[in-house]
Amino acid sequence: RAGCKVTVLDSSDPDWWKGRYNSKVGYFPATYLQRIIPGQKVFQVTHTMNLSEGFNGMRLHKDQIVVQCGDEENGMVHVRATSNKEAVCPKKFLNEISS
């Protein structure tokens, strides 16, 4: 489920990683996870929206998980999705997921 925290046990294969969630261990597509750095804020998107950053566009979907990768300024947060695309998003459309 979106927002679940998985401990990665083996990421040597670029496509399939081994990880643990609660007491279960298994393999999953690497693209299903986004690495977070301790202390990094993690958000769940509350509304589907299209964002633009210069010439690059990014679509965020309701319940998608993004991480903050830049400063918050004037109610806007610089976020990164699992696709490694980045954009600035209104914070009012993000719910912070606690650790």
Pair 10, 18: CB distance under 8 Å: yes
pLDDT by residue, tens only, the chain of 99 residues: 767 888 999 999 999 999 999 999 999 998 888 888 888 899 999 999 998 766 567 899 999 989 998 888 999 999 988 888 888 999 999 999 875
Q: Domains, the chain, ranges and CATH?
A: 1-33 (no CATH), 42-96 (2.30.30.40)
pTM value? 0.74
List of residues 6+ apart from 41 with CB closer than 8 A: 67, 68, 96
C-alpha 53/C-alpha 86 separation (Å) is 8
